Amino acid sequence: MILLQNVHKSFKGQKALDNLSIEVKAGEIYGLLGANGAGKSTTLNLLLGFLKPDAGAISIDSKNVVNCNMIGYIPENVNLYPYLSGLENLDYFCKLAGLKYSKTELYRFLLECGLQAEAHHQRTETYSKGMRQKVGIAIAYAKKAKVYLLDEPASGLDPLASNELSELLKKLASDGATILMASHDIFRVRETCNRIGILKHGKLVKELHANEVSSNELESIYLNFMHN
C-alpha cells in the first residue's frame, strides 16, 4: 500500500508538491495525470527514496523507510545494458538485488511479463521499446515487488505494445500488487487504472474512479483543470 500524507516539497523556493495526499491500496492501479512540472516525477522520486519530503509523511506497505526490495520501478525508457541479452539483463539486476534464480525461473519471469522466448537470448540493443519495458517489469516482478512505480511507461509505445502493458499491469494488480503510474496519456490511464488523480502545480486537484468516466469525459475534466 502506498500512502502520501500532506507531503510538501520545494526546489529552490519553488513548490513542487503542495500538501499532497494520495492513498493507493494493494491490488489497485492509481494513475497520476498532470502537465509537465505538475509534480508527477517528484512524487515518484519521493516514493523511490531519491528525494526527501520537506514535510508530510510517506509510507509504503506501512513502513516509513523506503525498502527497495518491495519496490519495482519502470521508467519511461527502460535502458538496459545493450550488450547483454534480455535474460542476462534480468539475471544481472536480480543479482544486484541479492536474488539468485535459475535460468528456468528467469525464463519464466520473462515469459510471464510477455517477452517472447525467442527474444530472451538476443542482445537488448535489438529490442523495441516495448520489449525493454517488459524486461523492466520482469526485473520488478522477479523481485516479487509489492509496489510498482511507473513513470510514463506507455510513452512512445505502439498501441499494441501499450495495450499489452496495460494487460500486464492489470494482471500484476490482480495478483495483489500496488501500482502507481504517472502519465500524460489520458486514454491509457483511463484504460489501465482503477483510480485517477489529477495534479496541478503540485496539488491534487481531482481524484476519480476510472469506471465513473469515459475517456472523453476524463479528457474534458483534465483540460478544464488545466485551463483554470
Partner 1 sequence: MIEIFLNEWKGFYRNRLMAVVALLFVASLALVTWLGVVQNQKQIESQLKAHRHIRAQWDELETMNPHKAAHFGSYAFKPNTILNSLDEGVNAVTGKVLRLEGHTQHDLVYSEASQSLLVSKFGKLMPSLLFQFVIPLFLIFLAFNTYAKERDSGRLKLLLIQGTSLQKILFSKILSIWIIGVLCLIISILTQVVFNGNAFHADFPLRMILMISSYSLYYLIITTLTVLLSAIFSSASVSLSTTIAIWVLWTIFLPKIVGNAVEKLSPLPTRVEFQKAMDEDRSKGIDGHNPSGERKKELEKEILAKYKVDSLSQLPINFDGIVMQADEEYGNMVWDKHFGKLYQQMQSQKRNYQFSGIINPFASLQNLSMGAAGTDMFHHLDFLKQAEEYRRVFIKTLNDKMAYGGSKTGDWDWKADSEFFKSVKDFEYKPISIKTIFPKYLTDILVLVLWAVVMLTLVNYTSKRISIL
Taking the C-alpha atoms of residue 10 and residue 109, their distance in angstroms, rounded to an integer, is 39
Compare residues 101 and 225 and give the one whose CB is closer to partner 1: 101
Stretch 130-159: interaction string toward partner 1, x if CB under 8 A: ------x--x---x----------------
The verdict on 92 binding partner 1 (CB under 8 A) reads yes
Q: What is the rounded radius of gyration, in angstroms, for the C-alpha atoms of the chain? A: 17
The verdict on 126 binding partner 1 (CB under 8 A) reads no
Q: Which grid coordinates are listed for 85?
A: 541479452
Q: Which of 93, 104, 105 shows the shortest CA–CA distance to 136?
A: 93
In whole angstroms, how close is the CB of 98 to partner 1 at the nearest point?
A: 6
20 neighbors 204 (Cβ within 8 angstroms): yes
In degrees rounded to 5, what are phi and psi of residue 23?
Answer: -130, 125
Alpha carbon separation from 73 to 6, 8, 109, 143, 148 (Å, rounded): 23, 22, 16, 11, 6
The verdict on 6 binding partner 1 (CB under 8 A) reads no
Q: Please report where in the chains the cell 534464480 appears, as a residue.
A: 101
Compare residues 120 and 190 and give the one whose CB is closer to partner 1: 120
Kindly indicate which of the ranges 2-10, 90-98, 193-201, 203-211 contains the residues binding partner 1, using the contact rule CB under 8 A: 90-98
The verdict on 56 binding partner 1 (CB under 8 A) reads no
Kindly indicate which of the ranges 31-39, 94-102, 114-122, 209-217 contains the residues binding partner 1, using the contact rule CB under 8 A: 94-102
The verdict on 10 binding partner 1 (CB under 8 A) reads no
Stated as kind and residue range, the H or E segment containing 148 is strand 147-151
Taking the C-alpha atoms of residue 142 and residue 123, their distance in angstroms, rounded to an integer, is 20
143 neighbors 99 (Cβ within 8 angstroms): yes
In whole angstroms, how close is the CB of 50 to partner 1 at the nearest point?
A: 6
Taking the C-alpha atoms of residue 115 and residue 31, their distance in angstroms, rounded to an integer, is 24
By CB under 8 A, the residues from 18 to 47 that bind partner 1 are 45
Stretch 58-87: interaction string toward partner 1, x if CB under 8 A: ----------xx-xxx-xxxxxxx-xx---
Compare residues 45 and 194 and give the one whose CB is closer to partner 1: 45
Residue type present at position 211: N
The verdict on 48 binding partner 1 (CB under 8 A) reads yes
Report the interface residues with partner 1, using CB under 8 A.
45, 48, 50-51, 68-69, 71-73, 75-81, 83-84, 92-98, 123, 136, 139, 143
